[in-house]
A and B are shown apart, each in its own frame.
Chain A
């Protein structure tokens, strides 16, 4: 369970995250949807205590990343934007190394890797050096090493980036599996189909702010659009249109949406 309240982070004059609030419940997949540069990665980085927030509050199962960084890191499984593997190590060694960093015993690591190899279908390459792995194989290893310590909360930054159709399907199946096991999953993406196919709850982020928050149906209903894509473009586009001085979409502004969702 993640609770974020009024989170802020600036880099110099750039307000990367400017008052983001949301909740991500256990047994649900929460999607952070937004264009590139909207502040998704920065938000996630604050969640996994890589960056200290300038202002605001984060609670992950009651823990504060700014104060209990080590404790939080033990309960989190993170697949960050950077998915660099050690190319001289095999997939198994990569995963096992992270298990050791988590202080797991050798037996526990071995058992867990067996389990993950099966779930993520990594039999073919688990004992190969990761040099020359395909994107799909890399993501699987990155996920496996993030999940080696069986974290309750899972954060994924653009997990389907660069994946082909088959790999994407496998990834979605895996994420759904996590949800059914009762994990809290937060994933960021700029791909509409992804949230539509996966997420129980969608948080649209634009320019460092929450533009809308709700289920897919909520968003469709409120925007009056037929597809989620239209709803998304409307929300983001309106805001940009307003700033540029055009008012092309009459009925709904992003501001009214975020107002709507926070009052609802």
Chain B
């Protein structure tokens, strides 16, 4: 029982830190690695090749089947200089080169960017020289100068990484309660202790409520532990490399806990309701495997398609918490009415589910579905 309570809070933050370390180190490795570049038709453009070599690229001999090489993932990029290159070059026309790559493979993106950057740099250099030879100031060919002014604060950049946190918290609200929800309903049936329990002079809805409240307390404890665990591991994150400010103050933690608590209630009610249908602990477990997908849906939508938060979204449980926690971490101020709407809508749905569960316990069939 305590294993299931502690597993999430220990596992998720470690997973998070591990993931960040991995991302950071592979990104750095790619940037520092020498660029190995097979070139087809290198003899058509000796000066370009010289330039590439000067820039640190390791020119590889001409491959037999460059397309196949890229497809087989032997190399991320192959450069092909076409036969008409020298002729076009002589005439001062754009000389064609091809960059063969498969951008759908994430890991080759860094190499593609570097090759294109080098080619662009070479083009710029030659272009300027040509203009100068004709007595024209090269600046004339650059009518606009683009300057990036980054207005994201280190805190708001943190959201990129911390989008993970609402996701983990949603799952924890459900997983933290799962074991208890199953043990108090399906488990009690399996142990054959439900029938004797119901013979006591206590209304069934009270027994049901007791089970749900216990489940909720566990879900909340699991959430609180997860937040504390995140607070502890965050200083160990390689955040500098990402230019992010990842700190969770006590106030932030409490706000997040307040926002997510109704989800724990919703989860406890839903899990208890579903587990009540199950004949055995094992059957209940198979339901739970599917239920765990529910908290993932809003997070996945939000990850795939980050949308601007609007008031009506606060009416949707799980979704609203995702948005609110995001805003809290970004350090944005959120309207109090949004908090109220999110908490109220989630609580109402939780209560409806709890009442359904309570009515279910009034059905005599419930007791016998186990035997």
Contact = CB atoms under 8 A, between A and B. Distances in A.
Contact of A142 (B191, B196, B364): B196
Interface stretch (A46-54, A196-204, A240-248): A46-54
Interface stretch (B73-81, B113-121, B197-205, B343-351): B197-205
A82 B364 contact: no
A98 B193 contact: no
Question: Interface residues of A toward B: which range?
Answer: 20 to 34
B271 interface: no
Nearest to B198: A50
B196 A73 contact: no
Contacts, number: 54
B106 interface: no
Consensus secondary structure, chain A interface: loop
B194 interface: yes
Nearest to A81: B195
Contacts of A52: 364
B192 A82 contact: yes
Contacts of A76: 199
A83 to B, nearest CB: 7
Interface string A59-83: 0000000000011011010101111
B201 A102 contact: yes
A46 B242 CA distance: 69
A229 to B, nearest CB: 29
B371 interface: yes
Max count, chain A CB within 10 A of own CB: residue among B188, B193, B201: B201
A98 B200 contact: yes
A149 to B, nearest CB: 9
B364 A51 contact: yes
16 contacts: A50-B195, A50-B199, A74-B201, A82-B192, A82-B194, A82-B371, A84-B192, A84-B195, A85-B193, A86-B193, A98-B196, A101-B197, A101-B201, A101-B202, A103-B201, A142-B196
Q: 7 closest pairs, A vs B, by CB?
A: A84-B193, A84-B192, A82-B192, A73-B201, A101-B200, A84-B191, A82-B195
